[in-house]
Chain A
């Protein structure tokens, strides 16, 4: 068992997602940074889609009542065991009675903490992913709170591993995010599209797991165009009439009614998940073929690590 002494800012149990219910309006949910998630599970010898803790901004303080192994990836929040710094991106052996705590956020905004084995929790609609809006999954459908207990079984010895440095997240000044053209892009005036691709956007504080709200430059929606609600995917960028783009994430609605100006490619969603309010991003358009070959190359790169 692992006891939650401090919950952190917003800590959720997440797995790869809840599939098959989007036609009923249930979003996929799941981790926002899939890359860090997979690496965290790899570190402790888990299946790649095992549930982990997704930690936002500030980390929790946990007391371990079992011997186990953990892995920490993603944002650097200065993790410590019993007050002594530990390495991220390595397998960490944790002894019964130890405490895991975190310091200050150094880079990114979401850390992933994996535990060898699986949480003793009932899946809801096929997944342990927490979807707080509908109180689905995770621990009672909500974020961790002080006094919560995470039930985990002790496991046999696990191999100690290290994630190569090229897969660690790195802080950027301005992130360049690659997109493919949106389904309603042709309806926008040329100068509005140009603004979208040449200006910097700042992530607003109202952003959450549903979507990243952006500000920076006003983009005019296509005139006299009232769109009918239509399906979206993770990474769809909608443009409401206030001219500020909304970039949809894992907990987003399954359909939306604003023009879709562009769509972030899947290969860049993990990078985007590490951007926090105040961070700046730009968009760069690529072709569908390029997007698919980038995803393919990325998968090959990851497979080289994950097969070990």
Chain B
């Protein structure tokens, strides 16, 4: 159920469905977005689903905030059929040369490097949403022992493929980008590739991700 509706700037409306990452809220958001796209409200420009929110950008010359709010509140939401359950295995090299923040994460979590790797690779992660940068996927279900705050000051550049953790989230940078996550490793795979015509994105919403460790030598092999 929508818990809060509020304006986001003068061009968007923010719907909040909950305050915690969980599969129920995610299902609700997937269903809501699906129904909203079907209805095609005139003036709705873009829909950006996230963990517990949906941001809806609109053209206020076509529909007022009040009108849109009413339509969103009264939207009839249908259940979406079974989700795709593709499992994607992603190789990660946790070598010290590629894991800039491993020391910081070790001191936050009190775990050794080996324990961090084992914990990070021993879980299946559900893809909750794409966003933040092209093809970037947000995962839920990280082991609570790995929880870590974001960096105090975001880095100006993190390389594509870098695997990070922040708060209760983990993910892979899809492009060179500024960012505030703690970097613990790197994958040689391309998360976003505009030349991969059939499939710009490695991962889709609803997929399951499993990370596995590769050595620095294996990592180098991939890049050839």
Contacts and interface: CB of A to CB of B under 8 A. Distances in A.
Interface of A: 19-20, 22-26, 124-125, 133-136, 180, 183, 206, 210, 226, 228-236, 240-242, 253-258, 260, 263-266, 288, 291-292, 295-296, 299
B130 A233 contact: no
A26 B200 CA distance: 11
Contacts of B149: 226
Interface of B: 6-12, 14, 19, 21, 45-55, 57, 60-61, 64-65, 129-136, 138, 149-150, 152-154, 156, 166-169, 174-178, 180, 192, 194, 200-201
B134 A255 contact: no
A293 to B, nearest CB: 10
B178 A210 contact: yes
A228 B10 contact: no
Contacts of B174: 25
A273 to B, nearest CB: 16
B55 A231 contact: yes
Nearest to B57: A233
A183 B10 contact: no
Contact of B131 (A241, A242, A255, A264): A255
Contacts of B156: 206
A288 to B, nearest CB: 5
B109 to A, nearest CB: 16
Given A23-B49, A295-B61, 9 more contacts: A24-B200, A25-B135, A25-B174, A134-B194, A226-B149, A229-B50, A230-B55, A233-B55, A292-B10
A254 B154 CA distance: 17
Contact of A235 (B9, B50, B153, B168): B9
A122 to B, nearest CB: 12
A234 B57 CA distance: 10
Given A229-B50, A242-B152, A299-B61, A25 B11 contact: no
B55 A291 contact: no
A231 B53 contact: yes
B50 A24 contact: no
Nearest to A288: B7
Contact of A183 (B6, B152, B169, B178): B6
A25 B9 contact: no
Nearest to B204: A24
B80 to A, nearest CB: 15
B55 A124 contact: no
A228 B134 contact: no
Contacts of A22: 46, 48, 57, 131
A206 B167 CA distance: 26
Contacts of B132: 25, 229, 253-256
A253 B54 CA distance: 15
A292 B48 contact: no
A19 B9 contact: no
A257 B153 contact: no
B177 A133 contact: yes
A240 B134 CA distance: 22
B8 A229 contact: no
